Amino acid sequence: MLKLPLKHYDESGRILAPSWLYFLLLLLCVDWLVFIFSVVSRSQTTELLAFFYPQKEALGLNLVASLPVLTSLVLISQRERLWKRNWLSWRHFVLPFIQVGVLVLLTGQMYYLMHHHWGFELVTALKILLYTITLYVVTRSRHLKWMIEDWATPEVGKDEKDTHSKGEDNSSDDALK
């Protein structure tokens, strides 16, 4: 019996990462997106960075704080390549990296609030709410736990499946003769 509906499995029967996880990870890595887009527009790099990060140290702190989340996003998106190289233990680091990254981002927001004498700012409140909900959802998600368990062994390549199935067919033909 399947643990999840069929839409959550890929062609080979492996559990896929939920789409909401990609959305949350991209939201947590928004500092990287702002940084990349500001660097790409070379003529307005300083203006864009000054607009989004009036305090220069905020950008650096947020980039470092979201690095574990970015690492998890890269690991999840490159799982096929990692399996082809027989790198299997990386799957154990996905959830802890997300959790540590969210905790560091949350700590950074608390640090920011402390230095602004605990004054209310809507953006900071929304970030704290997002980080708290993300930490709860990622920690409690059965889908993510099942996904990590399912990724314990890499999928057998199509060529290997064909070879094994042909070998089995030949052995059964030999037995009939």
Give residues with Cβ within 8 angstroms of 143, minimum separation 6: 4, 8, 15, 18
Q: What is the pLDDT of residue 29?
A: 93
**73/147 Cα distance (integer angstroms):** 14
Block means of pLDDT (10 residues each) for the chain, 177 residues, are 78 84 93 89 84 82 93 88 76 89 94 86 90 96 87 58 45 44
Q: Where are the domains of the chain?
A: 16-164
Q: What is the pLDDT of residue 158?
A: 47
8 Å CB contact between 106 and 133: no
Q: What is the pLDDT of residue 161?
A: 46
Q: What is the pLDDT of residue 83?
A: 74
Q: What is the pLDDT of residue 122?
A: 87
**37/14 Cα distance (integer angstroms):** 34
